[in-house]
Structure 1
Amino acid sequence: MFKKLFGKKNEEEQLTAPVSGKVVALDEVDDPVFSQRMMGDGVAIEPADGKVVSPVSGEIVQLFPTNHAVGIKTKSGVEVLVHIGLETVSMEGEGFEGHVKAGDQVKAGDHLITFDMNLVKEKAKSTITPVIITNYDDIIDSFEPSYSDHAEAGQSTVAVLTTK
């Protein structure tokens, strides 16, 4: 029953790139909320285009009203946040289009959000896209990021993690 309530133990999950681009450590994100891991641990990607896909299979738990961020929960209980850009909430949704809603079931690689990268470059602090495991301390036993100069959205593994 415990496993039913809290997800399966010691499951390995792959986190694929939600956007194509360069994968970097959170330390390189110019925002202390992300670089100091206040929301959890993960990676960040400097996007090459404005198409966002799901990094995992699971349920959409939240699409922010501004469409700049989305939360997904896997069957094993891992909660993943994809946050497009820095200080993009101030754009109030301009340039962002959501293609999912809370409660939707998605597979890794399914299209979630489209955004206008040029508009984000113009109006926000950065286009860098943190991919955060928000319940990291509660559920993650091991986390192995994979940094690269070019990851392909929905195809390249950016981290392998194991649940507790």
Structure 2
Amino acid sequence: MFKKLFGNKQVEEQLVAPLNGKVVPLDEVDDPVFNQRMMGDGVAIEPVDGKVVSPVDGEIVQLFPTNHAVGIKTKSGVEVLVHIGLETVSMEGEGFEGHVKAGDKVKAGDHLISFDPALVTEKAKSTITPIVITNFDDIVESFDPAYTDSSQAGETVIATLQTK
């Protein structure tokens, strides 16, 4: 989901929703690591179910051992982190199932992780899921988020960015 621009190496990338739900600014995430953009910039989704798909075409660079987060790198070098919920690492993988591994090539919309939203609600701080470009400062020239009350996983464009 990218196109090369003629005459230079800049690339336009589109991120699609990795979950069904409401797309909100990172400012609404009740965690300073995300709302102060310590890990990078992006958006967040308040999910309505427990299926996580890839927001981009790329390669899985990391599936956390607890299956609560996954990192994907696009061909143009954009690194995207999908972090399911807040303080979910403390669940030690309970309620999460990974469907990919590091090194796997994925397309936008491919199934990455399943999780139990009710269990996350019960055992963690929140189900809100940040989608963050971890190398934002190094690679992103412009970023245009698209907030919506109802995103469709694998279909709704939630952000467009231009690389440097």
Aligned residue number for residue 36 of structure 2: 36
TM-superposed deviation, 1:9: 2.5
The alignment status of 1:121 with 2:121, answered yes or no, reads yes
Whole-angstrom distance in 1 between the partners of 2:46 and 2:9? 32
Q: Using the alignment, how far apart are the partners of 2:104 and 2:9 within structure 1?
A: 24
Tell me what 2:161 maps to: 161
Equivalent positions of 1:8-157 (< 5 A) are 9-157=9-157
SS at match of 1:46: strand
- Tell me the distance in 1 between the aligned counterparts of 2:18 and 2:9: 25
1:24 partner amino acid: V
Q: Secondary structure at the match of 2:85?
A: coil
Aligned residue for 2:67, secondary structure, equals coil
Number of residue pairs matched by the alignment: 157
Determine the C-alpha separation between the residues in 2 that align with 1:112 and 1:28. Answer: 24
Shift, 1:10, TM fit? 1.2
Name the SS of the counterpart of 1:33 in structure 2.
Answer: helix
Q: Distance in 2 between matches of 1:80 and 1:90?
A: 22
The CA RMSD over aligned residues, in Å, is 0.7
Q: Structure 1 length as normaliser, TM-score?
A: 0.95
In structure 2, the residue matched to 1:3 is none
Q: Which residue of 2 aligns with 1:5?
A: none
TM-score calculated relative to the size of structure 2: 0.95
5+ residue gaps, structure 2: 1-7
Deviation, 1:91, is 0.1
Any idea what SS the aligned residue of 1:86 has?
Answer: coil
* 2:3 match: none
* Corresponding residue for residue 5 of structure 2: none
SS of the aligned residue for 2:122 comes to helix
Determine the C-alpha separation between the residues in 2 that align with 1:108 and 1:76.
Answer: 15
Distance of 1:62 and 1:9 partners within structure 2:
26
CA distance in 2, matches of 1:71, 1:57: 12
- Indicate the percent of aligned positions where both proteins have the same amino acid: 80
> Which whole-Å deviations, capped at 9, do the CAs of 1:109-133 have from their partners, x for residues lacking one?
0000000000000000000000000
